[in-house]
Structure 1
Amino acid sequence: MVASLVKILLIEDSLAEARFLQEVLNGAKLEQFSLVHVKRLGEALNQLQQDDFDVILLDLTLPDSQGLQSLHPLIQCAPSLPIVVLTNTNDDQLAIESLRKGAQDYLVKRQVNLELLVRSLRYAIERKQISEALREANETLEIRVAERTAQLTKAHELLEVERMKDEFISIVSHELRTPLTSIHASLRLLSTGQVGQLSEQGQQILDIAVTNTDRLVRLANDILDLERIESGKSVTIQKTCDAAELIVQAVETMKAMAAKHRVTLSVTTASISIWADPDKVVQILTNLLSNGIKFSPPQSKVWLAVEAKGKEVLFTVKDQGRGIPAEKLESVFERFQQVDVSDSRSKGEC
């Protein structure tokens, strides 16, 4: 089997360090590494214009650039290339900050060996590829939603609107959900450690990718659920169930999200027998709780209660968010309508 060739751009002002890294990589058996060495950030930017690389090894102490400020021009020049930071400092805070600014991994020079270096390079490339795939999927979804929304706005005949809606749902179902499922499965496989253990910082970044992929999958499924309901294809299976048990299921599902946003769930239950589809009721309660949590400030509460009202049962969800303006109360129930979402976006939600 012919070993794969990985092209590395090494930005390192120390010739001794560069020779050491080359010698370490020469010991690799499963991969072949081609190392191009430059001493300055400016030289690296010129090299990136002239040649293609698979990954960048970046020293944080350069003659023409110091610290994490080197990351920005590299990312601007080659946004699709993964960057592994090299430093003499074993500083967890610096490591986390480098990942936040766009690096894929962080290595302390005196701890580098063949296994660690090769694994870091391999995972950096894989994580960057997954990240790019997610970014492209997000951009594609945004473009298609914008295009379809504009077309629907201009449509004058109901038959044309229905045809375009069905086409849009088909795109979401087949062209978005299928690659998302594949990406999601790959991320899950990486997170289990079955293909190798990640560093703590790498695991944190991977967990963020998994969370956002989960959100995209849920979005696609919600759109499909909405289409089934409007087309009359949604199936409900009603049976006798306990309202208190349904509340418990919804709360258990949302506990992790509430804890993440430092929101307390306050529950008032009552054992009331109802005739309903339990899955649909739990889904509704979960969606309402999720919305309440996203728009609630930290250290606040979201209340969930149930009570009998004659022959009917009333579920109530209340939060301490900013609320919905009176003039928006009707429009928020239309498709693809939202009020100001700055509260949730400031907490990383969409």
Structure 2
Amino acid sequence: MYNKPIYVLLVEDSPSDARLQHHRFSRLDREKWQLVHVESLTQAINHCNEFTFDVVLLDLNLPDSDGLETVVEFRAAVPNIPVIVLTGSDDDELALQAISQGTQDYLCKDKITIPLLVRTIYHAIEREQILKQLLESERRFRAVFNQTFQFMALLTPEGTVLEMNQTALEFSKVKQEDYVGLSLWETNAWNYSTASQNWLKIAIAKARHGHLVREEVQIRSAEEAIIWIDFSLKPLTDETGKIVLLIEEGREISGRKEREMNARQQAEAEINRVWEQEQELNQIKLNFVSMVSHEFRTPLTTIQTSNHLLEQYYKILPKDKVETYHTSIKKAVSRIANILDDALVIGKTVSRKLEFEPAPLNLVTFCDNLVADHQPQVSNNCQIVFTHQGQCNQVYMDKNLLQQIINNLLSNGIKFSFEGSTVNFELSCHNERATFCIQDQGIGIPPEDLDRVFESFYRASNVGNIRGTGLGLSIVKKAVDLHGGQILLESQIGVGTNVQFTLPINLHK
């Protein structure tokens, strides 16, 4: 069956089992059968790296490896040599597991006969050869057909056609045998001019030396028309890095006019979007000017009055009065800064410059701190009550956006609540989502205003002289959207408003 010697590597640490195998092989033709014996997996791998064996007889239980892990480690290090497992137990399940890990066969030591051993070795070698052929065939098949929407061909590194896919055959209106064996530049698509053939020869030479070639070129169609294609040549290497194949791909680009038209339409749509964005920004500017003239008047008056009193009477004013005026100035400046910050956030959302930047956050501590910052600023004796449940300590959210959300909702809850009432702030974390609920006991929002409360600069019709910019809920909605969350607002006149929003805990982690 085989004219050349068969080299067998025996991996066996049992001296008695090894002697038995040596005895069996000694009864065979010694010129044809060459047996090498090692006692460990490491030695086996080293020997296979230094010498080419035809088959390996592998004991599963070795000094440096045990059980199926022996097969796994050996196949990982030496994938191209057929393996026959030797074991002292006749275990069908173990045999199946060993074969599933890439071995060719399985022999129970106490049932081995010389004819069985020889037959098993021959079969293992044959199966390994067939497997290699199948793997090579599959590799070529995948290389050709993994992108069947384009016409493709497999070439030798010298440019000879080995195979064409169905799309290429239909495009050229030829049979496989018409082109296989021809140089690509000899085919109908390229042989219409010397210039095109010379260009293709140079491209193949580049690809043969490892370069990717891609160019828009002209070829001849089956209808004898000269058309433009997007053409490429890609070198394909084997496990050693040697270039063994060239993959030729092409697609017709005669429909470019249609694509250019689509590109123009997209450009016009983008221009319209930018124009609409500019219009919205202009409207924001107008609304901002109107709002500034109203909302800045009170804090500016406070600053001006307090500063005048300090300048005129600083030396005779009691210390607590001086501190009061300083506090009034700080609050007024803070009020102006908050208004400007809100306006900047709205401007960024319109111009799409407001970014979502999540980071690790202790949500309970974060909310506690925000409540602590707000409580001293309350002027209507309201109390903020914060409660939480669930695992909220470590989440992944945008700290700045979340601060905008909670600050605006707490500020609204306090501002529109009745004297001495309670603003309840509840936090619940379950199923990878955090739910925030802020409920006040105040004037509420008229039903006819509920659909518009998230619009920039819009204020409910019943706010009266309560100060505000109409930006808070608009900022809240945009920040919730950037988190990929949801928000729900319910309100009843004279009872209060309940705002609930839910955010993913680990978004984009």
With normalisation by structure 1, the TM-score equals 0.43
Which one scores higher on RCO, CA 8 angstroms, separation ≥ 6?
A: 1
With normalisation by structure 2, the TM-score equals 0.30
More helix per residue: 1
